[in-house]
Structure 1
Amino acid sequence: MVDFKCFYWLLTCTSLICVCSSQDCIVSVIHKMKQFEEELLDTKVGILRIEKKVLNTIDVAITSLKAELKESIQEQVREAMAEILQGESLQDMVKSQVVSDLQHLKQGYHQMKRQLRHVSRSLKDFQDEKDEFHESVLKKADVWNRENSSDTCVRDKHRLEIELQKFDVTAAELKADIKRYMALNETCQSQMLQMKTALGASSCTPAPVNLTTTSRPPVSTTSVMTPRPEEEKSRILIAPAWSNTQHHFRQLNIHSNSLSVYQYHTMKQVGYVAYIAKTKKLLIGLRIPPKIVSSPLDTSHVTVLREGVDTYGMAVDEDRDIVFIATDQPQKSISRMSTQGKDFTTIIDLSKYGSTPWQITLDTRRKRIYGCNTGTLFTVTYDGQGLATLATGRHMYAVTLDQTAGVLYYSIDKKLMNMTVSNNVSTEVTTLNASPWNMRLYRDTIYFSGWTTNTVGVVDVTYNTVASTLQSISMNGAHTLLLCLIP
């Protein structure tokens, strides 16, 4: 509050007194001063009352705003949780995570079995070579002893015996490696048994995983049938690429190796299809108009995530909630977004690096992206750094990674190649009947679609042979086929 000063009025009154010449004037001035003083006191009381009223109004407004803000925050949190859960319970999400971990462990188990077979074959070959060398050395030593008993022959024989001892040491090391792999095998089996036991304790336990490797039956192409729901296990969704005619997706049922109609989607101008295992959703890239849509698995409901994005390749890092996208529009680049379509950003511009980037795959442990752009196999980090060329050739479109084994599979024209990511050394696996456009690795098998052909091929990478080929999938007007693995 402002404290009113009366000094000015006192001076004025004094002046009036001095001017006044009579006593009546003095009395009149004093009376007016008392009236003025009373008015000042009334004014001060009114100001205090107004101030108190204003403070009460401010307190009421602050309390009301706090309540509205709290209610708004609670509503936003509920909306965010509903968007994250997408109609699923937390128990379902935990179960999905456990199943995903079990699948990763199972993949490691199968990779260990492949390595064990490889070591066993190497040991057998080495033992055969050692036995042949041993017999050859003994024959030569026996001949030399008969033909020449000089000291030189004795020294040569002694040197050869030392070499044989080295071979025996190497063989012992290989046998020790086999024992270690066998111990690792037992450890993996024990961990998988514990996982299945933990799943068995839950009321939502999925069906137990059969770890026994069975032979693949011939692919049925004569009849198209819808499998029973209990038979729908691992499968490959097959979509038409860039077709102006709407087609139903197809699905290759891996457990029975049979083809059937995927009745939930009829689409045209499809550029790519990816799958998010945690949320059980499909990501579908459409070309005309360019956009990315999302659909829950085995439903026909579609939600638009991004407009104006034309893609030929997507890869999902589910643990980090990131989708990486090889884009042709709005520019030739690698971009990223969340699995809900948010935070879309370009991590590297590839317009000066070559043609459009096609299929991409992820090494989630090392946080690297691998991709092809017709003439180049390249790699780059998650944040767009360290762009490097790994291989070059013709018609390079498809790439997939066996992360457990550290082996990258890619194509050069009709040749299927593999590369060890630790040293970037490539070898040829086999020759195919078409240049692969999409490749999907499941256990020890690569499924690929041929460029400009409506065929799906199956390659057993354990024995580097083409196991079977699914010919002439009926999708007229499709330039080629797109593959999406539903493990």
Structure 2
Amino acid sequence: MMRMLKGISWLLICISLVCCCSCQESFVSVIQRLDQLEEELFHNKADMIRMEKRIRNIIDAVKTSLRVELKETIRDQVRETMSEIVQGEAFRDTVKSEVVPEIRHVRRGYHQMKRQWQHVSRSLKDFQEETVTFHEFVLEKVDDWKGENTSDTCAREKHRLERELRKSNVSVAELKKDNELLLELNKTCQFQISQLSTAVPVSQGASIRVNSISMSTVLTKLVTTSQLLMTASLTTPRQEEKNRILIASVWSRTNQQFRQLNIDNDSLSFYPYHNLSRVNSIAYLAKTRELLIALLKPDRILASVLDTSQVRVLREGVRTYGMAVDEGRFVVFMGTYYPKYSISRMSRHGEEFNVVIDLSKFAYYPRQITLDTRREKIYWCNYLNLFTVTYDGQGLSTLARGRYMYSVTLDQTAGVLFYSKGRELMRMTVSNHVSTRVITLHDTPWNMRLYRGIIYYGGWTAAVLGTVNVTGFIHHWLVRWLADWLTQQSVVFLL
């Protein structure tokens, strides 16, 4: 029995050894299989990472190409839209700045011509009635003289009456001729107004330019006709216009009486209403007949109704050598050099004082300024440059450079700017900013004004007042050596 148990135990031990060996082999195979699986998983993971990178690269390339294509498409659309907007705004600005004012001017000229025509018609009717009365009077005198024997007296009276009748017939013929001219001008004005009205919706600049030229021709005819009417009117005498220049001394420490130069007869006389010192600049509001006078020490701007001695203070603490008024908007522009260099604006009552553009970065302060009220632009000099800017302070640009540039004035109808460069009078076309020399003056202008085709200027180094006819560029002294009553050489003046 013990032997059997020992045999069974050995058998069991052998079986267990055999099982252990077989299990160990299976374990080794399992571990090897796991290693293979792990290696395959590692390779699959690496493949997946490479595939992910490739997909990301493809996505980035697609995004970049789509983004570039989208930008180009948007840019083209924006450019097309902006070009359409800019063209529309440019056309609207052109119509607003050129065509509409020209239509307004032509209509005003037409109404003025119509009033003049009515006046001439009434004058012609009155004159015809007077002629009929005169003829009846002559016939009565003839009937009375038929029975008299004073043949010499009758002959003298007859010759006198015949002369009067010839003069009357000539006057009637001139009035009829002027009437026919007015009728023809009336038709021309109506035709030009209809042309300008139909030209407004057209988007081509050439048609607008042609209508503007035709309009200027019509206005020239209007002016010529009005002058003929004033000379042809026999019943109502022409009222004398008070065209004058006011002159004041600059920087004078003692009170100086203003002078006035009458343009009609070139006579110089006292202006009895103002006696001031340290006058820097003068401006004039024609609609309200107000003078604006800028003083130095005390720094202030005064206002006075023309031909009165009463003044009121509009603004304190402002120094300026140049003021200009936009009559249509009742806005006063000025080039200030205190409290700082700037182009500023205010209302005609001295309120709403605002800086249009700060000029502190420039070494020299602004001198005389002038306005283009149609295009809403300001022009000024500052000793070395001629500048321009819009009413709202945009588009500052330098138009010309030089030395001793103090004065500037504008012929708004012709679109021509006149400015001084030392003693040289320069002419610039506003549309293309091309400058040409006009004439050499006898002195450097301190300031100047254009009136009826004549530039009046005051000297800077000599107390003189000169004129230049811009049509024929004829220059002469209007008043020479005003130093007998000026303590300072420079003068400022105003039409």
Q: Quickly name the TM-score band, shorter chain normalised.
A: 0.5 to 0.7
Alpha-carbon offset, residue 185 of structure 1: 4.0
Residue matched to 1:464: 473
Counterparts of 1:323 and 1:367, CA distance in 2: 13
Asked which structure has the greater RCO (Cα within 8 Å, sep 6+), the reply is 1
Residue matched to 2:312: 303
What one-letter code is carried by the residue in structure 1 that aligns with 2:442? Answer: N
Residue matched to 1:250: 259
Uncovered stretches (5+) of structure 1, i.e. residues with no partner: 1-96, 107-176, 198-205, 209-229
CA pair 183-484 structure 1, distance change in 2 beyond 3 A: closer
Q: 1:417 aligns with which of 426, 430, 435?
A: 426
Cα RMSD over matched residues? 3.0
Alpha-carbon offset, residue 353 of structure 1: 2.3
Q: 1:477 aligns with which of 484, 487, 493?
A: 487
Matched, 1:355 2:387: no
Alpha-carbon offset, residue 233 of structure 1: 1.1
Q: Quick check: 2:246–2:261 contact (8 Å CA) kept in 1?
A: yes
Matched, 1:395 2:404: yes
Partner SS, residue 462 of structure 2: coil
Counterparts of 1:185 and 1:427, CA distance in 2: 25
Partner SS, residue 327 of structure 1: strand
What one-letter code is carried by the residue in structure 2 that aligns with 1:247? Answer: Q
Query: 1:399-458, CA deviations, whole angstroms, 9 ceiling, x for partnerless residues?
Result: 000000000000000000010000000000100111100101011100000103110001
Q: Quick check: 1:243–1:479 contact (8 Å CA) kept in 2?
A: no
Matched, 1:189 2:221: yes
Counterparts of 1:183 and 1:316, CA distance in 2: 26
Partner SS, residue 452 of structure 1: coil
Matched, 1:437 2:446: yes
The 5 Å alignment of 1:45-444 reads 185=217, 188-190=220-222, 233-444=242-453
Query: 1:261-285, CA deviations, whole angstroms, 9 ceiling, x for partnerless residues?
Result: 1111000010100000000000000
Query: 1:68-94, CA deviations, whole angstroms, 9 ceiling, x for partnerless residues?
Result: xxxxxxxxxxxxxxxxxxxxxxxxxxx
Q: How many residues align?
A: 285
Counterparts of 2:389 and 2:219, CA distance in 1: 35
CA pair 419-288 structure 1, distance change in 2 beyond 3 A: same
Alpha-carbon offset, residue 315 of structure 1: 0.5
Q: Quick check: 1:242–1:479 contact (8 Å CA) kept in 2?
A: no
> Which TM-score applies when normalising by structure 2?
0.54
Alpha-carbon offset, residue 183 of structure 1: 9.0
Alpha-carbon offset, residue 351 of structure 1: 1.3
Alpha-carbon offset, residue 483 of structure 1: 1.1
> Which TM-score applies when normalising by structure 1?
0.55
Aligned-pair identity in percent equals 52
Alpha-carbon offset, residue 189 of structure 1: 3.5
Query: 1:187-216, CA deviations, whole angstroms, 9 ceiling, x for partnerless residues?
Result: 65358869999xxxxxxxx985xxxxxxxx
Counterparts of 1:245 and 1:418, CA distance in 2: 37
Query: 1:343-387, CA deviations, whole angstroms, 9 ceiling, x for partnerless residues?
Result: 001111111123010000000111000000000000011011111
Alpha-carbon offset, residue 255 of structure 1: 1.1
Q: Quick check: 2:291–2:306 contact (8 Å CA) kept in 1?
A: yes
Query: 1:101-157, CA deviations, whole angstroms, 9 ceiling, x for partnerless residues?
Result: 77xx99xxxxxxxxxxxxxxxxxxxxxxxxxxxxxxxxxxxxxxxxxxxxxxxxxxx
Q: Quick check: 2:464–2:477 contact (8 Å CA) kept in 1?
A: no
What one-letter code is carried by the residue in structure 1 that aligns with 2:461? Answer: T
Alpha-carbon offset, residue 242 of structure 1: 1.0
What one-letter code is carried by the residue in structure 1 that aligns with 2:221? Answer: Q
Alpha-carbon offset, residue 181 of structure 1: 7.4
Of stretches 183-192 and 365-374 in structure 1, the one that deviates more from structure 2 is 183-192
What one-letter code is carried by the residue in structure 2 that aligns with 1:271? Answer: N
What one-letter code is carried by the residue in structure 2 that aligns with 1:189? Answer: K
Counterparts of 2:300 and 2:371, CA distance in 1: 22
Over 3 Å off, 4+ runs: 180-197
Alpha-carbon offset, residue 320 of structure 1: 0.9
Partner SS, residue 189 of structure 1: helix
CA pair 232-331 structure 1, distance change in 2 beyond 3 A: same
Q: Quick check: 1:232–1:253 contact (8 Å CA) kept in 2?
A: no
Counterparts of 1:239 and 1:298, CA distance in 2: 15
Q: Quick check: 1:440–1:446 contact (8 Å CA) kept in 2?
A: yes
What one-letter code is carried by the residue in structure 1 that aligns with 2:255? Answer: Q
Partner SS, residue 298 of structure 1: coil
**Radius of gyration: which is bigger?**
2
Alpha-carbon offset, residue 469 of structure 1: 3.5
Partner SS, residue 221 of structure 2: helix
What one-letter code is carried by the residue in structure 2 that aligns with 1:478? Answer: Q
Q: Quick check: 2:459–2:465 contact (8 Å CA) kept in 1?
A: yes
Structure that is richer in helix per residue: 2
Counterparts of 1:330 and 1:192, CA distance in 2: 48
Residue matched to 1:161: none
Q: Quick check: 1:309–1:327 contact (8 Å CA) kept in 2?
A: yes
What one-letter code is carried by the residue in structure 1 that aligns with 2:449? Answer: R
